[in-house]
Amino acid sequence: MKHTIIGMAGHIDHGKTALIKALTGIETDRRPEEKSRGITIDIGFAYWRDDITIIDVPGHEKFVKNMVAGVSTIDFFILVIAADDGVMPQTKEHLDILKFFGVRQGIVVINKIDLVDDDWLQLVRDDVYTYLHNQEYGDQPVIEVSATTGQGIDILRQAILDKIDQLEQRIDSRPFRLFVDRSFSAKGFGSIVTGTVLSGKVAVDDEVLLYPAKRKLRVRGIQTHQHDVRQATAGLRAAVNLAGIEVRQLPRGTVLAEPESIEPVRSFLAEVFTTAYFKFKIKRNAEVRVHVGTAAVNGRMNWFEEDSVLNNEEHYHVRIRVSEDIIAVPGDAVLLRSLSPVTTLAGGKVLQLNPPHLHRKDEEWKKYFKILTDGTLTERLRLIFRSENRRAISLNELIKLLFEKPSTLKNALQPLLSAREISRFTMNKENYYVRQELVTSTAHSIEQILAEQAKKFPMRPKLNRKELLDALPNHQMDSFLFEQSLRYALKAKLISGEEDRFLHPDAVDNQLILQHKQKIREIYEKTGFHPPDMKDLAAAVDGRMELKDIKNLTADLNRSGVLISISGKYYLHAHHWQRLFKFLRQYFKQNEALTVDELRRFTDTTRKFLIPLLEYLDQSGYTVREGDLRKIGPQLLKS
C-alpha cells in the first residue's frame, strides 16, 4: 500500500491544528500546555484512513526547531494562511524550510474565510498568489476553507487525494534508517520511538544500531498507523518498540539504522541557498545551528565563494564542521540558523561526509562540487579515490561514506575496476579498493628505496617491512596500501623478497655477499659448539666489515636454515644443531633428567655458550627446567 506523509505548516494561530481536526477528527495538541495556551509547541500526528499521516508542526518562531524535525521526512505540505492575517513571517520561514528540504509539492490553504468579507479575501488571495509565484510555488493549488464552519473541507480532502495520486513513488535502494522524532514508555512494552522509515525496512527481532551512541538494540515490536505489523518499509510512519534501553537514552535527534551502514561525522560538504529575510552580516567561520533530520547541533560554516559575508538569495558551497557527532548521509536536507538573533539563514543538501581538504582559492573546487551534485555514483566514487593519496579504502568504509548497500556499490565500482583505475584486494577477510596509480607509484618508490639501499650498503641490501614503510615519502600511508603496493612490486619483479626481507633484483647476485656467506658457513661448521660472537666473526670474515653487515648476513643464513639462532646472540651451524637434537632424543630415551655437566661433556663447550644454549632449549620447549636438572620438553616429545 502506498503511504503518504503530509506536513501541516504555517504561522502561529492560522488554524493548522483546527484544520487537521476538521479533516480527520483528531486533536494533535496533546500536551496540557498546548491546550491551555492554544498553541502548538511540539509536533503532533494524525492518521487519516490507513495510508495517510498528517504531521502538525508548531507555527511560533520559538519552536521552529520542532517544526524542522516534523517536516524533514514529508512527501508534501499543506501551508495554512489565515484570511484575516495573510502572509506572515513564519509563513515565509516555513515555506523556505520546505524548499530547502526539497519538498516541492504542496497545497496552500487560505483558512478562516468566515472571518473576512469578500473584498478583504480578494486582497489576501492576490497577496498569496503573488508570494507563491515569487517563491516558485505558483503552480501549487490554493484552497479556501473555514476549519470552524467546515466550508471547503470536502474540496480540500479531494485536493489532498488528487495530490497523492500525482506523487511519484519513492525509489528506495538504501539500508534501513529512521530519524527518531518522539520517544515514550508504554506499560508492559518499555521504550518506544516513532519516526519515518526513510529507507530500507525494519522487522520484528531485527538487530538495529542506535546512533550516534552505536548501541545495538533488538526490535521487540512495530506499529504503523496504530496497527501491529511484522515489518515497516520506506515511507511509513512507524512506532518501534526497543528492548533493553530507557526512554531517556532515546532523545529526538538519535537515529536507528542497519548495523555497520553509517558512521557519525563532524564535517561535511553541502550546497545551500540563503533566504531573503536575514538582515545582519554572517562572516566566515560563523557559529550556526545545524539541523539535519530531527537533530540540531552547533557548528561552524565556511563557504568557497569569494563573498566575505553571506548575501541573501544566493547559492553557496560550504564546509560545515559540527561540535558533536551527527548522523547525516549524502542527499539529506540541511538547515542553517543563526544563534542570535535566531532566524533561518540557509538550507540545502548534504553532499559528502568527512571530505578531503579543498582550497578555496583553487578553482578545482567548482569541478569537485559539480560531480558531487550531478555526478553518478561511479563518478562520485572516482572522486573519493582521487582524493586519497595515502591509503586504501574498504568496502565497509564506502558503505558508511555513501550510505549505500554493498550490492549497489559493487555495481558502481565495476566500471572503475574494468578500466583498471582502481584495484581490489582482500585483507583480513575484507575487500579493499585503491587507486591503481597510487599502487604503481608506491611500488616504484619501494623499488627506488631498495636500489639506493643496495648502492649505499652493498653488504646489507635487504630491508624489512617496517624499514621500507619508514623510508617511504608518505609515511602516514596505511598498511593496506603498503601491502598491496609490495605485492605489486613483487609480482612485477621490481623487487625480490622472502618472508620479511626484500631487496632490489640487481643486488641478488652480489658476488661479494655470496663469498662472505660461504665464509660464515665454513666458520660455524668448523667452530661447532664454540661459536664466535659477532665482533670476532666480522673480523674473521672481513676486517673492514661493520657489525650491522655481519648481523644482516647471519640473519639471512638463519632464515634460509643454514644457521640456527640461539637466543639471537649466538648461532649454530644446522649440522651441529642436528647433532645436539639427536643427542637429546637418544639421551631422554634412557634417562629421566639431564644435568648441566652431561650437556657440557657432549658439547665440550664453555660456560659462556652453555648458559645461553640451556636457556634457549628451555624457552623453545625442548627441555623443561626443574632446579638444576632438565627434563624432556614438548618439542622433543612431538618430534
Q: What are the distances in angstroms from CA 350 to CA 263, 268, 290?
A: 15, 7, 11
Active-site residue, selected from the candidate residues 3, 11, 14, 16: 16
Say whether 408 is catalytic: no
CA pair distance 13, 60, nearest whole angstrom: 8
**From its phi and psi, is residue 489 left (phi > 0), alpha (psi between -120 and 50) or beta?**
alpha
pLDDT of residue 67: 57
Please say if the pLDDT value at position 570 is more than 60.
yes
**205 exposure class (CB count in 10 Å sphere: 0-12, 13-18, 19+):** exposed
Outline which parts of the chain fall under CATH 1.10.10.10: 375-507, 511-638
Q: What is the pLDDT of residues 161-172, one digit of tens each?
A: 999 998 887 777
Confidence band, pLDDT 50/70/90 cuts, at residue 336: very high
Average pLDDT over residues 58-82: 69
Mean pLDDT of the residues in the chain: 88
Catalytic, 16? Answer: yes
The catalytically annotated residue of 17, 196, 554, 603 is 17
- The sign of the torsion formed by the CA atoms of 14, 19, 20, 25 equals positive
Q: Is pLDDT at 593 greater than 90 in this prediction?
A: yes
| Half-sphere exposure at residue 534, Cβ-oriented, CA atoms within 13 angstroms | 16
Top CATH class, 4-166: alpha beta
According to DSSP, residue 472 is labeled S
Mean pLDDT of 320-337: 93
The predicted pLDDT at position 196 comes to 86
Cell numbers at 202, concatenated: 525494519
Q: What is the pLDDT of residue 181?
A: 84
Residue 64 is predicted with a pLDDT of 58
Beta bridge partners of 79: 9, 108
The whole-number average pLDDT for the span 149-174 is 90
Of all residues in the chain, the percent with pLDDT exceeding 90 is 57
CB 24 within 8 A of CB 46: yes
Sequence-distant (6+) residues with CB within 8 A of 189 are 220, 221, 241
Residues of the chain with CATH 2.40.30.10: 177-257, 265-367
Environment class of residue 581 by beta-carbon count within 10 Å: exposed (0-12), middle (13-18) or buried (19+)? middle
Residue burial 346-361, b: 16+ Cβ < 10 Å; e: rest: bbbbbbbbebeeeeee
Q: Region 271-279: what's the mean pLDDT?
A: 91
pLDDT confidence tier of residue 266, bands split at 50, 70 and 90: very high
Coil, strand or helix at 450 = helix
| Longest CA–CA separation in the chain, Å | 124
pLDDT tens string 12-31:
888 888 898 899 887 765 54
Output the pLDDT for position 325: 93
Model confidence band, residue 37 (pLDDT cutoffs 50, 70, 90): very low
Is residue 377 predicted with pLDDT exceeding 70? yes
* CA dist list (Å): 6 to 95, 98, 195, 257, 291: 14, 12, 13, 23, 20
CA torsion through residues 517, 522, 528, 534, sign: negative
Where does 496-606 have alpha helices with state H? 511-527, 534-541, 547-559, 574-590, 596-603
Domain 177-257 class, CATH top level? mainly beta
Catalytic residue among 3, 4, 13, 576: 13
* Domain 375-507: CATH class, spelled out: mainly alpha
349 vs 639, higher pLDDT: 349
pLDDT band with cut points at 50, 70 and 90 for residue 33 = very low
Confidence label for 48 from pLDDT (cuts 50, 70 and 90): confident
pLDDT tens, position by position, 394-424: 999 999 999 999 999 999 999 999 999 999 9
Give buried/exposed letters for 217-250 (b at 16+ CB in 10 A, else e): bebbbbbbbeeebeebbbbbbbbbbbeebeeeeb
Quick one: pLDDT at residue 462? Answer: 86
The candidate with the shortest Cα–Cα distance to 305, out of 279, 272, 354, is: 272
- pLDDT, mean of residues 191-213: 93
Identify the DSSP state of 247.
Answer: G
Contact between residue 73 and residue 179 where contact means Cβ atoms under 8 Å apart: yes
> What confidence tier does 49 reach under pLDDT thresholds 50, 70, 90?
confident
Domain boundaries for CATH 3.40.50.300 within the chain: 4-166
- Please report where in the chains the cell 565563494 appears, as a residue: 305
Give phi and psi for 44, each to the nearest 5. Answer: -130, 165
Strand partners, 256: 178, 210
- Starting at the edge strand that comes first in sequence, how are the strands of the sheet with 44-48 ordered? 44-48, 52-56, 4-10, 76-82, 106-111, 142-144
Please state, in angstroms and rounded to a whole number, the distance separating the CA atoms of residues 59 and 261.
35
pLDDT at 130: 95
Q: Which residue has the higher pLDDT, 338 or 361?
A: 338
Residue 3 binned pLDDT confidence (cut-offs 50, 70, 90) = confident
User: In angstroms, what CA-CA distances link 273 with 213, 377, 545, 570, 607?
Assistant: 31, 24, 71, 73, 84
Kindly report the pTM of this predicted structure: 0.75
Task: Provide the pLDDT for residue 39.
Answer: 42
CATH for 265-367 is 2.40.30.10
570-592 mean pLDDT: 93
- pLDDT band (50, 70, 90) for residue 70: low
The pLDDT of residue 71 is 63
Is residue 63 pLDDT above 80, yes or no?
Answer: no
CATH 1.10.10.10 fits 511-638, yes or no: yes
Q: Check 60, 65, 201, 214 and give the catalytic one.
A: 60
Residue 106: how many other CB atoms lie within 10 Å: 22
- Range among 69-78, 439-448, 460-469 with highest mean pLDDT value: 439-448
Which one-letter amino acid corresponds to residue 596? V
